[in-house]
Structure 1
Amino acid sequence: MKIKILFFLLISVVGFSQKKKINEEYDYINNYYQLVYQAQYEYLKEDYQKAYDLLKTAEKNCPLLKQMEINEPAVLAECAMRLNKPEEAVHYIEILVRDYGANFEGFKNSPLYKDIQNTRYWRKLERKAKKYHEAYLKQVNLDLRNEILKMKEEDQSVRINRDYEGLKRVDSINYLKLRKIVADCDCFPDEMFPQFGNYTIDDKFFSAVIFVYHINSEDAEYWKPIFLDLIRRGRAPAEIYGTLIDSNLRSNGVYLYGIYSNIGKDLIDDFENLDKRRIAVGLPPWQLEKDIHELIKKKYGI
């Protein structure tokens, strides 16, 4: 009888600890983003050890994200490969294929991974790749993806055609749709969430950040706490809060978060505390962001 009771208690404790882990709240603002931005900088400078160490620390703190401009799993895969950790490199490639719908053939054709394609762990992933992709596609809500793509198309159409009456109508409709999508999905529409799909679905660039630029100052009050909470939980692109605020300051010409690349220090209010504000909402320090963009231009010619 005592053995049965002890067994029951053990199972209960294990179950409770697993449940706690599953439901645990992660704080990406304080424990993830800044490590990842610094890792991106080191990666672009080709210091793969520093980039790897920073990303591994970030991953220990919070589940890994796949942000569009950074692509954390891909950077970790490359760093691991260059640091002679091929099995770990395959682990991160598997995450990209399984969780984010990445095309396995792209990795297979990469010269970086040619020398490990006869290993058992690579062959194992190759056997699973097709099933992973099929499972990923089943998660994609094509109706939702197409709705958001249509929203973007209409958003741009009325602006390109300078249809000011149509603009008011489209922005109003899109605003209500965006509210419903975010509430239903508990995230901001982005490729890092499988229900929205990625470019491999239809070769179309997918991002809903453009709608944030068109939220007026009155409606911004509704979104501020929602955006900040989503960013903190890793459920939204980190730039949306700063974008929301600064896009509504365009008429003033003086900004709070410095999200526009073509403005100088003189157009940022309280510049001395700019980085404190940026870090508090998940953005990288101002100069670090500029340095990263310069390195991207140099590395990729973009």
Structure 2
Amino acid sequence: MKIKILVFLLISVVGFSQKKKINEEYDYIKNYYQFVYQAHYEYLNGNYKKAYDLLKTAEKNCPLLNQTGIYEPKILAACALKLGNKKEAFKYANILVKDHGFALTFFENDTILIGLKNYKEWKKLEKKYKKHLLSYKKSVDSELRNELLKMMEEDQSVRINQDYEGLKRVDSVNNLKLRRIVNQCDCFPDEMFSQFGNFWFDGENLSTTALVFHINIEDSQYWKPIFLDLIKRGRAPASIYGNLIDSILRNNGIYEYGIYQNVGPDRINDYENLDKRRIAVGLPSRAYQDFVYEYWQKIYEKYKEQNGN
């Protein structure tokens, strides 16, 4: 039965007729990601005008994304509000709700976006919220989302239980399923794409990063050009190529892209040219990565202190 399942999945991948690629006229690696990383850095440092201008440049170059952990429309809404442009602020707030299924509590729990409640436009957003939410939920492929959640559950289960034989089987099946899903959707399954849904859809976090970390060295040859193409077209998280390569190099102990926070310069190949390699595949500079990590560490420590932990 296991062999039949694997054969069926392989046939599904090979037999799929390739659709026209989405965003093939854009180059996010050259014209988008680095503007967004700079904007996120400026935003976290309170430089709202710089952050706004950088994100508007990125948006002019390529259709706006909503990357996990950055949330471009959220930053634009917050910056516009800080700059006194409430029309722009509500424009991007509506995008978050309508196109990305964000709950109103997201705005109410944000120290800047809560200011939207001071305007009459907030009442309009509240009135349209149920309609937007229903429309968003209709855009989610529930069957596909459940399949991905099950894949992640099995991925973690065999590792928690140290089931090494099961691990090989699960990784093999998941790899074939991932091939089919990426071919079918012309993107990597991530919450920034509405068909996969996000936390507000059903209260579940759909984090498929582990699937990349568990691709073996043989299968990586298939994925390398596909991941780079998807990143270039804004159809995948910009981190997946670097994640794939460095995860394969774990046994070697010398890395190419420095994605692991606990890996110092002495364990990174040709460290002087690290940022050139990172930027070439859509990653931010190592300095930005360190800054964001340290920023959220400080926020977390402050939270623990305030809550007596």
- 1:84-137 deviation per Cα after TM superposition (whole angstroms, max 9, x unaligned): 111111111000000000012442565645665464543333332211110000
| CA–CA separation in structure 2 for the residues paired with 1:285 and 1:199 | 29
Which residue of structure 2 lines up, in the alignment, with residue 138 of structure 1? 138
Which residue of structure 1 lines up, in the alignment, with residue 252 of structure 2? 252
The 8 Å contact of residues 77 and 113 in structure 2, kept in 1 or not, is answered as no
Which residue of structure 1 lines up, in the alignment, with residue 68 of structure 2? 68
List 4+ stretches of structure 1 deviating above 6 A. none
**Correspondence list, 1:32-111, <5 A:** 32-107=32-107
User: Given the two structures, how large is their TM-score scaled by the length of structure 2?
Assistant: 0.86
| CA–CA separation in structure 1 for the residues paired with 2:129 and 2:34 | 32
> Which is greater in Rg?
1
- Structure 2: any 5+ residue segments left out of the alignment? 1-21, 304-309
- 1:35-92 deviation per Cα after TM superposition (whole angstroms, max 9, x unaligned): 1111111111111111111111111111111111111111111111111111111111
**Worse-matched range after superposition: 234-243 or 126-135:** 126-135
Give the % identical residues: 62
User: Given the two structures, how large is their TM-score scaled by the length of structure 1?
Assistant: 0.88
| CA–CA separation in structure 2 for the residues paired with 1:245 and 1:97 | 35
**Correspondence list, 1:1-302, <5 A:** 25-107=25-107, 112-113=112-113, 116-117=116-117, 119-301=119-301
TM-aligned CA deviation for residue 23 of structure 1: 6.6
| CA–CA separation in structure 2 for the residues paired with 1:134 and 1:54 | 33
| CA–CA separation in structure 2 for the residues paired with 1:114 and 1:241 | 36
TM-aligned CA deviation for residue 254 of structure 1: 0.2
| CA–CA separation in structure 1 for the residues paired with 2:153 and 2:160 | 10
- Relative distance call for 1:129 and 1:220 in structure 2 (3 A) is same
2:227 counterpart letter in structure 1? F
Alpha-carbon RMSD? 1.8
Which residue of structure 2 lines up, in the alignment, with residue 8 of structure 1? none
The 8 Å contact of residues 246 and 257 in structure 1, kept in 2 or not, is answered as yes
- Structure 1: any 5+ residue segments left out of the alignment? 1-21
The 8 Å contact of residues 186 and 235 in structure 1, kept in 2 or not, is answered as yes
- Relative distance call for 1:192 and 1:64 in structure 2 (3 A) is same
- Relative distance call for 1:62 and 1:161 in structure 2 (3 A) is same
- 1:9-58 deviation per Cα after TM superposition (whole angstroms, max 9, x unaligned): xxxxxxxxxxxxx9761111001100111111111111111111111111
The 8 Å contact of residues 24 and 233 in structure 2, kept in 1 or not, is answered as no
The 8 Å contact of residues 34 and 284 in structure 1, kept in 2 or not, is answered as yes
**Worse-matched range after superposition: 116-125 or 199-208:** 116-125
- 1:214-252 deviation per Cα after TM superposition (whole angstroms, max 9, x unaligned): 111111010001000000000000000001111110111
TM-aligned CA deviation for residue 300 of structure 1: 4.9
- 1:143-185 deviation per Cα after TM superposition (whole angstroms, max 9, x unaligned): 1111111111111111111111111111111110000000000
| CA–CA separation in structure 1 for the residues paired with 2:159 and 2:267 | 26
